[in-house]
Amino acid sequence: MFKRIETLTAPVRFTFEGQAIEARPGESIAAALLAAGVAALRDTPVSGAPRAPYCMMGVCFDCLVEINGMPNQQACLTAATPGLVVRRQRGARQFDLSTAEDGQ
């Protein structure tokens, strides 16, 4: 489905759900996962249906994943770096009111 442009640079390796994934330097986690054949990055909180990256520019939030234990990270906006531990987002996105301005 997706084809990468071949490069001479060494790949970056991280894991997704315990599976080793190779990325090109500068590639987003979402792009690397799609290139590796992984489409479903999270499950919807209501029905549990799998969701895949959609906009690839940070607008839709369909690519939310857990990165190194931190949930609600956008895979399309996060560069793949060596040693990352990425997991599927489970359940609803959490909103932390303590970080919102004026409690909104």
Domains of the chain: residue spans and CATH:
12-90 (3.10.20.440)
**Which residue has 């599976």 as its token pair?**
19
Over residues 9-30, the pLDDT tens digits come to 899 999 999 999 999 999 999 9
DSSP state of 64: E
Count of alpha carbons within 13 Å of 33, Cβ hemisphere only?
A: 33
Question: Residue 103 has what pLDDT?
Answer: 47
Check if the beta carbon of residue 65 is closer than 8 Å to that of residue 87.
yes
Over residues 22-68, the pLDDT tens digits come to 999 999 999 999 999 998 999 888 888 999 999 999 999 999 999 99
Over residues 71-81, the pLDDT tens digits come to 999 999 999 99
